[in-house]
Structure 1
C-alpha cells in the first residue's frame, strides 16, 4: 500500500490521534493570563450579584428555597451560576491564548445563555417558585457588562506584558517568491525569530516535518499550501507535536472560514450563513461610534484645550491642521488633526519625496521628518494629534474603527485593488495602526490588513482593535 505524505512506519493510525496524552503547553505568562481571566470573571459575576442583591433585597429578596448554603457571603445559587458560566467559558475557548479569548461579544452571549437556561431549570425544579424578576434582570445585565469590562482591562494589561516576553520561534512555509518577503517582515518584529523555512510544494513531506521538529519552532507560518494532496496532513502533524499553525489566507479562504460545513446534494460544501437580523450589528456599531465620540469629546475636553494652548504658544500658526482625505466611496472630506508640523509643511514635502521610506511610494513616511515641531513629536508619539477626528465621527464622516482615510496625493497612486478599502467608512484607528503603525514600509501590506478587516469585520473585532489601540497609544509603540 502506498504511503501518504508525511507518513512513517510508526504512524499507522488516525492522523488526529496524539502520540500520548498531554496537557496543553502554555508559557508561564500565558498561565498567568488564564488565571487572571478566570479570577476576573469570578469577581465580575460576584460584583454583579452583590449590586443586584443590594438594589433588590428591600423589595424582592432571594427566596429561602433557593438558598441552600452560603459561602464567602454569597448564596449557593450564585456559586452554581458562576460554576456553570465558567464551564461554558472554558468550553467556548475563552480561557485559551488564541484570539477567541478576546471575544467579548461571545462572553456576553454565554452569560445570557446561562441566565436564560436558569429560567428553564427553575421552572422544572419548582413551577410554583417565582424568583424575583428585578433581581434576575439586574444580575443578568450587570454580569454581562462587568464580565466584559473586567476582560477588557485584563486584555489591556497583559497585551503590554506580551511585548516583553522571549522571542517566538517561527518556521516559514511559502512559495519561493514569498519566503524572502515574509522573512523580512518578521525581521522587523522583535517578538519573532525565523528558525527555518521550506517551500510550500514540500509542506506535507516527511523531510519538512522533521525540519520543523528539529528547528524547535513554536509556530509555523504558512502561505500558498497546495489545496490537494492532503493539505490537512501538515495541520494534524503539527497539532500532535504541539506546534501552532498560522495560515496566510487568500480572499477565497477568508470566505471559507465564514462557512459552515454542510452536505448539499451529496456534495461537501461550506454554506456562508446570513444572520437572522441583517444589519443590526452595523447599526449598533454606528450608535457606539456616536456615543463613544460624544463622551470622548466631553471627557477629553480639558486635554483638548490644554493641547490647543500648548500648540499656540510653541509655534506660529493655527492650532488645527485640516486636510482633504478620501472617505466612503471616494468622497472627499476635511479631516481634522492637531497641527504637528510647521505651517508650510505641504510645500516642503515636494523636496522630501526622494527620502520617502515607503517602498512603493504610495504613502509618504519619513522617520526624522524635519517639518515636525518639538511638541509635534510628542503629539504624534502619543497619537493625541488624532483626537480632533472625534468630531469627524460625530459628523458621520468617519467611524472609531476602520481603514485610515488617506490624502488625495496617496490615493492617486493606488492600484485598482487598493480602492476596495473605500467601500467601508474610514476610521480613527484600524487594523494596520495596531499591527505596526509607522513601521509598515510597503503600502500593499497595509492594504492587505484593511482587506482582512473588511472581510472579517465584527463588533468584537472593533472592540479588540480599540483595546489594542489604547495599549499601543499608552506605550507609544510604532509612532513617529
Structure 2
C-alpha cells in the first residue's frame, strides 16, 4: 500500500514539474544566450564573406564581362553566401565551445566552399569565364576575414565574460572533498557563473524536491554535478531534462585516467564513449626510446669527466661504495635496480625505519625529510644539484628507464599506493619529469604528483620531453625544491 502511494506521489510530482515549465520542455532557459552567440557568428561570417567576394571582384576583371554586371550584387552574393554558410553549419562551426574556435576546420570548410562555388559557376554557365585570380583572391580574403572575425568576436566575448557579463548561471552539486575540482573546471571554462553551491545530499530522496524548486526559482541554466553525487542516482537525469535543464557530470580527477575520450554513435542510435590508450605506446614508444638512447650516449661521452670527479669525491668523503643500488618499481610494476651516486651513509635503508615518524610527506606515500641525518657532507652537495641521479643514464640505455617520465619509486612507497595511483606504472619511469620541474620535494601530497604524471602521459610528445629536459637543467641550477 505504501509503495503504491509513493509511486502515485512521484508521478504526480513529475506531472507538476512538467506543468511548471515555461514553454516547450526541450527549450532550455539559456537558449537566449545560445542563439545570440550563433546569430552574432552568422552575421559576422555573412558580412566578412560578402566583403571578401566584393573586394576580389573589384580587384579583378573577367576576360569577358564581369559577373557583377550580369547578375547584380545581390544575385551574385546569394550562392556565395549560401554555400559557405551551409558548409559551416554542416561542420558544426556554430556550436558552442571549441567548434567555433576550430580555425583549421574553418579553413577547410571555406576552401571546400570555394571549390564548390567554382564548380557551380562553370556548370551553370560554361561559356562565362571568370578569372582564376578572382577565385584565388576571394579564397585568400575570405580565409583572412573570417578567421580574424571569429578571433575578434571570441576575444570580445571573453572580455565581456571576464567582467562577469553574459555568463550562464549554474548550480554546483558536489561533496566537500570534490567541490574544489569541480569549481576549478568551471572557472577554467570561463563561461559560467556559479549561482548556487550545494552538498551532494541535496539530491537525497527527501531533499531533492526542494533542490529542484530552488533551481526553478533562481532561473538556473545548467547544473554541474560531481560524479560521487550522481553515480547512484542516474535516474535523476530525466528529472533535470523534464525541467528544461542541462545536466553536466564532472568525474573525479583522481580517477579520471583515461586520457582523451570521444563520443560517437553506434548504428546511428546508441551513444558510445571511446577511451584511447596513453600516447606513449606503439610507434610513439619506440620513437621516444630511440631519442633516449641517442641522448644518453651523447651525454655519457660529454659528462665522463664529471662522473670521474664525483666518484673520487665520494671515495674521499666517506667510507663505503661509490654507487648505490636500490630496487625500484618500473614499467608494468616490474622491479629493477636503479643506480645512483651514494649520497648517504651505508646503512641508510635500515635507519629509515627509525625516521618514519619524521616523514614530512602529508599522505605518507613518499618519504621526505629536509634535514635527513643519513646524508653525507658531499651527499648534500650532489643532492642539491641532482648529480646523484647521473648514473641512471645507464638504466636508460638498458631500457629500464627513460630520460623523462614518472619517477620510479621504492617498494616501500608503492606498497602504500591507492588503486588509481598505478596508472603511472603504464609508462617507462624517468630520470626527470613534470614533478621534478614543478617543485620536486616541495610537493608534499602524492595526489598532486599523480596529477602531474597523468598530465605528462596524456599529452606526451618529443617536444614536451625537450621542454622538460631544459626546465630540469634550470631547476637543477636553481636548486628548486631539492634536499
Question: Normalised by the size of structure 2, how large is the TM-score?
Answer: 0.49
Larger Rg: 2
Higher relative contact order (CA 8 A, sep 6+): 1
Which structure's residues are more often helix, by fraction? 2
Question: Normalised by the size of structure 1, how large is the TM-score?
Answer: 0.50
